[in-house]
Amino acid sequence: MLAYRLLTEDDTSAFCHKVTKALADGWQLYGDPTYAFDHTTGKMRCGQAVTKEVDATYSPDVKLGSL
């Protein structure tokens, strides 16, 4: 199964650490990162999609972060 996650975070080093950890855990970048202003919080937000081929059957109960 190809698992998909969209990682998001405020525009801080925490976002870079989140993406770096996903890459270290075997996830691969999917597409370009995104960057947008969140009017609710008044902060810039980053997003990056990642995918990973896993030996599992899809279920809505799958915890993608633990794959």
Query: If you count them, how many residues does the chain have?
Result: 67
- Is the CB of residue 18 less than 8 Å from the CB of residue 6? no
- Tens of pLDDT along 9-48? 999 999 999 999 999 999 999 999 999 999 999 999 999 9
In the three-class reduction of DSSP (H, G, I as helix; E, B as strand; rest coil), residue 51 is classed as: strand
Q: pTM (2 decimals)? A: 0.88
d(Cα 7, Cα 65) in Å, to the nearest integer? 10
Instruction: Name the more confident of 34 and 56.
Output: 34
Domain boundary assignment for the chain: 2-57
pLDDT value of position 65: 83
Is the pLDDT at 7 greater than 90? The verdict is yes
| Residue 50 CB burial class (10 angstroms; 0-12, 13-18, ≥19) | buried
pLDDT value of position 67: 85
